[in-house]
Amino acid sequence: MSCFVAVTSNCTRDDDGVMNEKQVVYLRGDYGVGFLGTWTLAFNGEVSTTLGSSPTASDVEYALMFVSTIGTVNIDVNMTQIGLRTSELWVTIEFTRSQGTNPQHYGSLPLVTVDTSGISSGLASSAVERVCGGEFFVDHTPRNIS
């Protein structure tokens, strides 16, 4: 897995001063060719259902419904294609906090992982990067509860 991801993001705080964690999964195909095949995401040991090489945001949301450790998320997908192949794919995952759902994600989270072993041809690189570190509200001091 590569460390290169060129991403700009808008990291904002909510009314309580809490910033959501945002991570980007990036897949890049061979230059001028692109990639085909399937891949999965995992978070805290649970794996999504299989995704194709050109998923929609709805496809990713559906695949992550089977990952109970991920909680509620907003998904954004951007890609460039060469014919039926995907040249570059960016999947932004924003971890949100919906009242009454678990887990409630606050603070910095582990990175999602991507398994590209189902991509049959043309994958040049893949990476996962944190673009917004989740943070508690400003002036929050964690308490140790014994």
Look up tokens 């980007």; give the residue. Answer: 24
Q: How far apart are CA 116 and CA 13, in angstroms?
A: 33
What pLDDT was estimated at residue 121?
92
Quote the pLDDT of residue 134.
74
The answer as to whether 73 is a domain residue is: yes
- Predicted local confidence at residue 13, as pLDDT: 72
- What is the count of structural domains for the chain? 1
Q: Give the pLDDT score at 7.
A: 45
pLDDT of residue 107: 67
User: Global pTM?
Assistant: 0.82
At residue 103, the pLDDT reads: 62
How far is 57 from 99, CA to CA, in rounded Å?
23
Q: Which two tokens stand for residue 95?
A: 């971890």
Residue 3 CA to residue 39 CA, distance in Å, equals 18
Q: Is residue 9 part of a domain?
A: no
Is the residue at 63 inside a domain? yes
Chain-centroid distance of CA 23 in Å reads 5
Report whether 43 contacts 115 (CB < 8 A). no
Q: What is the extent of the structural domain holding 103?
A: 22-132
Average pLDDT per 10 consecutive residues for the chain, totaling 146 residues: 47 75 95 95 96 97 93 93 94 81 68 96 95 68 52
Asked, for residue 55, whether it belongs to a domain, the answer is: yes
